Structure 1
Amino acid sequence: MEFEEFEAQVESFRTERAGKQYPPGFQLFDSWTATDADLAEVEAELGTHLPSKYKRFMRVFGGGVFSFVELLPAKSPDGRSEDLLSVNTGIYAAPNFVAVAPVGTGDWWGFVSENGVCREQVSFLDHEEGSVQFDSADFYEFALTKGLRIGR
């Protein structure tokens, strides 16, 4: 899927939900966007190149809430929240895996990294077993199916 098609799906989702009532404090989207410099810093610190579709998503939409999924921002907007570096360099960091979204059970969605390059596919990391399973062909598919629940 190309970015323009993905962006049209997001806009359609937003239009459908415009004006609907949600519980107090509930947000459909955050917008903790990343700059090219933020993403370059993350790549340098992690020693891997992030997928191009993921980087474009982060520059346009950013981390935080993306409807039904929480995405790690490249850099914490408040200096206290988890971000790509704190999660992927901490004591729970998984080798050869870049976590980008918590599942909510201690497991993560993210990218397998081989020889300094992340795969385009989004995978699921089981924190107890350490096993990694394919989830989505690319980040746009992941964001649509998990975040917007389109095409599940």
Structure 2
Amino acid sequence: MTRTPSAVLADLEAAQKDLALAQRLKTADKRIEQLTAEYEAARAESDRAEAEAQAAALEARFAGISDIRIETRSPQHFNSVLQNTYMVTWTAPKWDHRTNGTTPSQHTIAGFRAVPGNVLAYLIERQPELSRWRTPRS
């Protein structure tokens, strides 16, 4: 009994697929090494780009903030940290309508609640040594 051309063609296509699979399997170890190296390089590049983006975002967040100081002022008749007033002073850009631009200006706020988030983050992340606050000399 002879086979039909369509059956032979189906077997031929299956054999070609098997041959292609066998050839891929023969080179699989080399492909794995190559793809692993490519993956590691791409991952390292992605990590580097992400770290650079985070650093740039952090720098943009702290742009222009400098000269931050904390002073404590305590009433004469109280000797408790709860009665102290903390004066936070820093220099940051401020819009000046006369010059139509930003100029460095000194800002002072009593207490920590009203300190802007970026200034408070700068204080915590960039100048943690200011936890030893100074009392102004009278």
TM-score, length-scaled by structure 1: 0.18
Structure label with greater radius of gyration: 2
- Could you tell me the TM-score, scaled by structure 2's length? 0.19
- Using CA pairs below 8 Å that are at least 6 residues apart, which structure has the higher relative contact order? 1
